[in-house]
Structure 1
Amino acid sequence: MQKKNLAALVASLFLVPVAAHADVTIYGFLSAGIESAKATGNGNSANDYTSRTRVSDYNSRIGFKGWEDLGNGTKAIWQVESSLRNFEQGGTDDKGNAATLGTRNTFVGIDNADFGKVLVGQYDSAYKTLSGSGSSALAIDVMTNTTADNFGKTSVNGRGEARLANSIHWYSPNWSGFQLGASWGVDEARLQDNNNNSATDAKRLSLGLAYNWGALNLSTGWDRRYDTAVKANTNSIYNGAGNTPPDANGTSGKNTTMFNIAGSYKFDFGTYIGGYYEWATYDQVVSGQVKQDDWQIALGQDFGAASVKLAYGQLGALKSVGAGVNGDDFKAKQWILGGTYNLSKTTQLLAYYTKITNNAKSSANFANDPVYDSNLGNGKASLTAGNSPQAVGFGLKVAF
């Protein structure tokens, strides 16, 4: 990240005196590549995503952040971070979403040396930040931000991860290697529960605990989405107005709960090992509860400026399903083989191969730049259950 004084920059451009009231940093990266991708195997070739060449953006972004010293070890802090990931399509992704200002972690807050940070705005949950793909110390998402990224709510691993809008967060200082975090995503909509005509409160609470001791990193997280259920014998969350009644607007008293544990260690000779486990419980709209787990193991090896990375993850069977439903149909697995080469401190070459194998009722997809075979170009874009995405690509990342 290159630090620039925005006040000085503005003054030099417009030749007017501007007083700098805070330290401001401009940061981000542009990253993209060329890949071949496909998704087949659902049993009906009409629903196949046939092999094609894509130009993929690897989660490019730009951010502005700053702070002001308030004295007594306290600072006012702020950040505006925006996605640039759709630049290869002129700013609109495969679901019709346009890149706009402040789409990523954007907040205002207070940072105290003794108490920690309090953030208000939009930010990754403590579950993700301290015990998931958002943790740079864990580094369990081995090809993060590329198509081979496998942590996300519709991916093989990290299905409890989220960026919470309308949220409040607290992160503690580092206490002898320990750090705590808590997030509260408020529900301002309070949609109606069509089952009993009451207003729902689909708030989200998230907790994270991380421990670092040299090259050893351990963590755990808990996350709950209140008044949020799944349709019977599925793992598909129903909480939006586009769903079919009677569960169109959530279900009072029904919750979705996630728990994870993770760990990693990097040896002095450059070998990295990591592991992740997640357990989900889904209350069903009518009655009962289904469960599902996922796990991943990761390996890596540094060779000077180069790194080779390998990961394997599984999404397990849907448990506690009703008669006539095969829980194994919801299984998925993913292989990731990748590598990076640092040309400089800010420029990196990268390459990867990844394949997801979905069973008959599973539609796990890439966390970044997923493939869709239905309703391409609008919010209903989806991957047919049973189709298995795979991609091979190479690209370039330039940070600033």
Structure 2
Amino acid sequence: MKKVIALAVASAFVAPAAMAEVVVYGVAAPAIEYSKITDATNSTTYPDLTRVRLVDSLSRIGFKGTDKLDNGLKLLWQVENRVYIGTGDQSRGFNTRDTFVGIEGNFGRVVVGSAMFDLPFQARFDYLQGLINYNEIINGVQGVTNQSQARLSNVAQYTSPVFLGGARVKALYDFGAKTSTANYQGFQVAANYKYNMLNVGATYKQNNDTSTFGQQTGALVDSTVTPVAEAFLKNYLVGATLTPIDGLNVSVSWDRKKTKASAAAAEIRQDAWAIGANYVTGKHGVGLHYGKVGESKNMSTGNTNPDTGAYFVAGQYKYALSKQTYMHASVGLVKNDKLASYSMGTTYVTGLGTSYPAAATGLKVTTIATGVTTSF
């Protein structure tokens, strides 16, 4: 009997060692936000609104792991989940961020999954580092001047290894949705090359047979796309980052969006630009970003649609308290033309609406946020 007990105790210690290791990680990011919204065109219906509240700057928890396969390949997996500290839309939780299973080897990496950001968003980490934002309350100039980024459902992505001394390519396929009359699906490709101080890149995204909502983005993790025959989105993004000294990244980007709502609808084109710089030295980090979305143009008539643009300014600061924790403060300003309704995430947390762009046209939104972000 004693031998049986001893064997059982030994097995309890040996069995976990034979299993693949699971890494638990996450971010806790509470913050305080002050916001002021002014409607310059309809102040009676939408009077000035100011608010101070506790908000969340993208807290999340995730689980990931790897397994070495017999043929030299590596299997990898991840399940990441949104959590909230403070106020926010708490309906989106488990499995609502990058969740995938993949294979990695000398050929690169292939993953399939859901709730994954598309290639236009990934550009800020690939070749637009000067436009990265320090918190998600003021959601970043790059996010709004890139006019089609989204977190997608049901995608497959390939990422190559680095070759030719600094080149890397990516490809993504959005499986979409199909009905008896239309077949929504999308594809994206991206490439960047980093050499010494310069990192340049380009991204192309196309959605076919998308609905009006899907033209902006794609099949989001928390929504659906109703396919519409011959509707489309085409998005072009090019940019570069210059790093003249250690810690300083200066980025510029140009984005063009082309959309068509149906077979009979006109093609609409809209351009956007952004420039930004982030500088980190010691415990301190600062950033300043500016962006503009131009007026849309009807390509059938050749006429520009007046008062459909907007501009955006954001400034940010962070101070490292440790390797895992930093304090941050940011200010963002969005000024819409009277027929435009853009935001940098600010109208969402102020309660005017959950849609993107903003819920009403002509709004001027000023947001100041400060908080602490810690990783584990």
Q: TM-score, normalised by structure 1?
A: 0.80
Kept in 1: contact 2:198–2:241 (CA 8 A): yes
Matching residue within 142, 147, 153 for 1:159? 147
Kept in 2: contact 1:142–1:310 (CA 8 A): no
Provide Cα deviations, 1:77-120, integer angstroms capped at 9, x if missing partner.
10001112x3313xx51xxx5132111000111111x2111111
Mark the CA change 1:115 to 1:146 in structure 2 (over 3 Å): closer, same or farther. same
Correspondence list, 1:1-400, <5 A: 17-45=15-43, 46-48=45-47, 50-84=49-83, 86-89=84-87, 93=89, 98-112=91-105, 114-122=106-114, 123-129=116-122, 131=123, 133=124, 135=125, 138-150=128-140, 156-175=144-163, 176-188=165-177, 190-191=178-179, 198-228=180-210, 230=212, 249-268=226-245, 270-285=247-262, 286-320=264-298, 327-367=305-345, 370-371=348-349, 374=352, 383-400=359-376
CA distance in 1, matches of 2:293, 2:232: 20
Provide Cα deviations, 1:256-288, integer angstroms capped at 9, x if missing partner.
100101111222254321111111111143232
Mark the CA change 1:177 to 1:324 in structure 2 (over 3 Å): closer, same or farther. closer
**TM-fit CA distance, 1:162:** 1.8
Mark the CA change 1:327 to 1:163 in structure 2 (over 3 Å): closer, same or farther. same
CA distance in 2, matches of 1:326, 1:73: 56
CA distance in 2, matches of 1:200, 1:37: 42
Structure 1 match to 2:3: none
| Matched position secondary structure for 1:66 | strand
Mark the CA change 1:118 to 1:293 in structure 2 (over 3 Å): closer, same or farther. same
Kept in 1: contact 2:201–2:238 (CA 8 A): yes
**TM-fit CA distance, 1:371:** 4.5
Mark the CA change 1:100 to 1:344 in structure 2 (over 3 Å): closer, same or farther. same
CA distance in 2, matches of 1:369, 1:20: 49
**TM-fit CA distance, 1:255:** 0.9
Mark the CA change 1:127 to 1:382 in structure 2 (over 3 Å): closer, same or farther. closer
| Matched position secondary structure for 1:329 | coil
CA distance in 1, matches of 2:39, 2:201: 36
Q: Spell out structure 1 runs of 4+ moving beyond 4 A.
A: 14-17, 235-240, 321-326, 371-374, 378-382
**TM-fit CA distance, 1:321:** 6.3
**TM-fit CA distance, 1:397:** 0.7
**TM-fit CA distance, 1:396:** 0.6
CA distance in 2, matches of 1:149, 1:238: 19
For structure 1, which runs of at least 5 residues remain unmatched after alignment? 1-10, 192-197, 241-247
**TM-fit CA distance, 1:237:** 8.0
Q: Residue 76 of structure 1 aligns to which amino acid in structure 2?
A: L
What is the alpha-carbon root mean square deviation over aligned residues?
Answer: 3.0
Kept in 1: contact 2:28–2:85 (CA 8 A): no
Kept in 2: contact 1:222–1:260 (CA 8 A): yes
Moved more, 282-291 or 263-272: 263-272
| Matched position secondary structure for 2:340 | coil
CA distance in 2, matches of 1:322, 1:70: 55
**TM-fit CA distance, 1:230:** 4.6
Number of aligned residue pairs: 357
CA distance in 2, matches of 1:165, 1:138: 24
Structure 2 match to 1:194: none
Moved more, 139-148 or 323-332: 323-332
Kept in 2: contact 1:48–1:373 (CA 8 A): no
Q: Residue 148 of structure 2 aligns to which amino acid in structure 1?
A: G
Q: TM-score, normalised by structure 2?
A: 0.85
**TM-fit CA distance, 1:346:** 0.7
The structure with more helix, counted as a fraction of residues: 2
Identity over aligned pairs, percent: 25
**TM-fit CA distance, 1:137:** 5.6
